[in-house]
Amino acid sequence: MAKTPEFDLAAAHRYFAAHCFNSAWELIGKTDRSAAQKIRGLSAK
């Protein structure tokens, strides 16, 4: 049986979804992205 996480899974999902969304838009707005930033934008981490 799976162990119950010790945090609010729905709250964690909302936090990381917003974080990834905002990170992607920050990179989209840059005109001089490095190769690493382009990859980061694709993975939105």
**Which residue blocks in 1-45 are alpha helix, DSSP H?**
9-28, 35-43
As a whole number of angstroms, the distance between CA 17 and CA 1 comes to 27
Q: What is the pLDDT of residue 20?
A: 86
Instruction: Count CB neighbours of 40 within 10 A.
Output: 16
Which amino acid type is present at position 39? I
Task: Name the percent of the chain lying above pLDDT 70.
Answer: 93
Q: What is the pLDDT of residue 10?
A: 93
As a whole number of angstroms, the distance between CA 34 and CA 40 comes to 10
pLDDT at 13 over 90: yes
pTM for this one? 0.62
Q: What is the pLDDT of residue 32?
A: 92
Q: What tokens does 28 get?
A: 């989209």
Q: What is the mean pLDDT of residues 28-35?
A: 90
Contact 24, 44 (CB under 8 A): yes
